[in-house]
Amino acid sequence: MLIFERSVPGRASGAQLPPAPGDAAPLPERLRRQRAPLLPEVSEMDAVRHYTRLSQMTFSIDTHFYPLGSCTMKYTPRAANAAAMAPEFLARHPLAHAETGQGFLGCLFELQEILKDLTGMAAVSLSPMAGAQGEFAGVAMIRAYHRARGDAARTEIIVPDAAHGTNPATATMSGCSMREVRTDRDGRIDLEALRALVGARTAGLMLTNPSTLGVFESGIKEVARIVHDAGGLLYYDGANLNAIIGRVKPRDMGFDVVHLNLHKTFATPHGGGGPGAGPVGVAPRLAPFLPIPLVARAGEGYRWADERDLPQTIGRLSAFMGNAGVLLRAYAYARLLGRSGLRRVADYATLNANYLMAELLRAGLELAYPRRRASHEFIITLKKLRDETGVSALDVAKRLLDKGVHAPTVYFPLLVPECLLIEPTETESKQTLDHFVGALREIAAEARADPQLVKSAPHSTPVRRVDEVRAAREPDLAWRGA
């Protein structure tokens, strides 16, 4: 039932009404709203019950295991939330002068320093509001760099065929064209194909490492050499940083620019789709182009740095300071873990992934890259199961919901048929992983004994399988009244 259907004309949450307004000249008739908007008229308790009940109809990290590849769904520490919700931080106006927010700016400045050290980069801007905006910032900086050198013809961005969709979409958004480079059967970039692709039009290459295929690109130094020799720059997509955090610095691999997903690697909440944060770090040659604002030192304290400090900046990507509250949570997380704790993230994320991979292999499932180590994630392919039983990767994913496990990433990367991309993260216990192995084992057995049971899953969720075709053919995107 929609909140609108709980509405009773004349009802209101009385405690939320401000005092009666004082005098103001009436608005001119032609500017005035004539009809009230369709908002529900409910009591405070009606609203609280409605939204509390809806919250109970959603999987979350606080309630379920999410082996969701390339998404790093790890535990979100409550302390980070509590620390960022300090009333003074919440009440801080973004345009209040810097002197009134030294504690706040200090946290952001220190976060910049931590991210610089983790990535090996010379400078960091915290302002991008999500991974995709970090990617945009990165490619915009690459373009600005070439342009500043009078090399404006460099408008091609190379991405691997297995890249996340945001990479090619970012190339387009930045006015570049996209070229794809092949990966070989062990998941490595085909270096010959890359050599053939680069040239005078190459702006840069975007790469995740470990890749979206769940394996480390061990030839990365050679990849970097090829792109740099052709005059291009290297972009590190931080989607999979959880695999190497505290162990490998993207700068050491030859990258010129990196974005991090703080909602992945730094455990800030996913919030049902956001907000995230996508800070960017750069090598010295890209530092003049960083998006503003940055936090700079000013004597003993801190101040904002803007276009007066960075006249070549690519500009502002948000009205104020990105997702500042998310940044505070990431800072709190980094302080809780510290140097050693951040390194342990990669250790245990990798241990969990390799353990799970070994156990699933033992359970009879097929790996997409059997000759490789798992990074923090790996891919299994259910092609054989589908050919034998008609049960698809999507069916298995839906059946997992019945077993109390969120579905892994399905059908990505696109080049592995019937794939499940599985990332357990470091915060899950051996018992949870064993339960997941057991669940997949049961589903494989069900697929053979009673395929219809799996194909019609889920059975125990608040709704049965949702008709997405009807949703797209007859879009109902807003309630318009009874």
Partner 1 sequence: MNIPLELRYAKTHEWARLEPDGTVTVGVTDHAQEMLGDIVFVELPAVGKRFAAGAECAVVESVKAAADVYAPVSGEVLATNADLGEKPQSINADAYAAWLFRIKPDRASERDALLDAKGYAEQLAAEEH
Partner 2 sequence: MPFIPHTDAEVRAMLAAIGAASIEELFDEIPRELHAENFAAIPEGVPEMALMRLMSERARADGHYLNFIGAGAYEHHIPAAVWQIATRGEFYSAYTPYQAEASQGTLQVLYEFQSMMASLTGLEVCNASLYDGASALAEAVLAAVRAQGGARRVLVPRSVHPFYRDCVRAIVRNQGVEIVELEYSRETGATALEALSSAKGAIAAVVAPQPNFFGVLEPVDEITDWTHAHGALAIGLVNPLALALVKPPGEWGGAGADIAVGEGQPFGAPLSGGGPYFGFMCARQALVRQMPGRIVGRTVDAAGSPAFTLTLQAREQHIRRAKATSNICTNQGLMAIAATIHLALLGPSGLERTAACCRANTAALARRLAAIPGLRRRFSGAAFHEAVLSLPRAVAPVLEALGRERILGGFDLSRHYPELGHALLVCATETKTGDDIARFAAALERLLAGEKSC
Q: Which residues bind partner 1 (CB under 8 A)?
A: 411, 468-469, 472-473
Could you say whether residue 189 binds partner 2 (CB under 8 A)? no
Q: 100-106 — which CB contacts under 8 Å span 24+ positions?
A: 102/301, 102/302, 104/324, 104/328, 105/295, 105/301, 105/302, 105/303, 105/304, 106/301, 106/302
Could you say whether residue 482 binds partner 2 (CB under 8 A)? no
Rg of the chain, C-alpha, whole Å: 25
In three-state form (DSSP H/G/I as H, E/B as E, the rest C), the secondary structure along 273-325 is CCCCCCCEEECHHHHHHCCECEEEEECCEEEEECCCCCCCCCCECCCCCCCHH
Query: How many other C-beta atoms lie within 10 A of the C-beta of residue 96?
Result: 11
Q: Give the SS3 label for residue 381.
A: strand
The neighbouring-strand residues paired with 345 are none
Binding mask 206-245 for partner 2 (x = CB under 8 A): ---------xx-x-xx----------------------x-
300 makes contact, choosing from partner 1, partner 2, none, with CB < 5 to 8 Å by partner type, with none
The least distance separating partner 2 from the CB of residue 204, rounded to whole angstroms, comes to 13
Report the distance separating Cα 43 and Cα 235, nearest Å. 51
Could you say whether residue 111 binds partner 2 (CB under 8 A)? no
Could you say whether residue 363 binds partner 2 (CB under 8 A)? no
Residue 384 or 430: the one with the smaller Cβ distance to partner 2 is: 430
- Residues 157 to 176 in contact with partner 2, rule: CB under 8 A: 164-166, 168-176
The least distance separating partner 1 from the CB of residue 165, rounded to whole angstroms, comes to 12
Report the distance separating Cα 70 and Cα 240, nearest Å. 6
Could you say whether residue 16 binds partner 2 (CB under 8 A)? yes
73 makes contact, choosing from partner 1, partner 2, none, with CB < 5 to 8 Å by partner type, with partner 2
Could you say whether residue 96 binds partner 2 (CB under 8 A)? yes
Report the distance separating Cα 92 and Cα 307, nearest Å. 23
Binding mask 367-406 for partner 2 (x = CB under 8 A): -----xx-----------------------xx--x----x
Residue 164 or 303: the one with the smaller Cβ distance to partner 1 is: 164
* Binds partner 2 by CB under 8 A, chosen from 158, 198, 230, 326: 326
The least distance separating partner 2 from the CB of residue 435, rounded to whole angstroms, comes to 14
Residue 198 or 369: the one with the smaller Cβ distance to partner 2 is: 369
Could you say whether residue 28 binds partner 2 (CB under 8 A)? yes
Binding mask 431-460 for partner 2 (x = CB under 8 A): -------------------------x-x--
- CB 82 within 8 Å of CB 333: no
92 makes contact, choosing from partner 2, partner 1, none, with CB < 5 to 8 Å by partner type, with partner 2
- CB 408 within 8 Å of CB 401: no
State the alpha helices, DSSP H only, in 174-210.
191-197
408 makes contact, choosing from partner 2, partner 1, none, with CB < 5 to 8 Å by partner type, with none
* Binds partner 2 by CB under 8 A, chosen from 47, 191, 193, 363: 47
- Residues 240 to 269 in contact with partner 2, rule: CB under 8 A: 244, 246-249, 252-253, 261, 263, 267, 269
Residue 95 or 469: the one with the smaller Cβ distance to partner 1 is: 469
For residue 40, what are the CA distances in angstroms to 17, 43, 437?
15, 9, 45
Report the distance separating Cα 128 and Cα 372, nearest Å. 34
Report the distance separating Cα 86 and Cα 292, nearest Å. 25
- CB 112 within 8 Å of CB 126: yes
* Phi, psi (deg, nearest 5) at residue 92: -70, 120
The least distance separating partner 2 from the CB of residue 154, rounded to whole angstroms, comes to 12
Could you say whether residue 297 binds partner 2 (CB under 8 A)? no
Show the tokens assigned to 43.
Answer: 């009591």
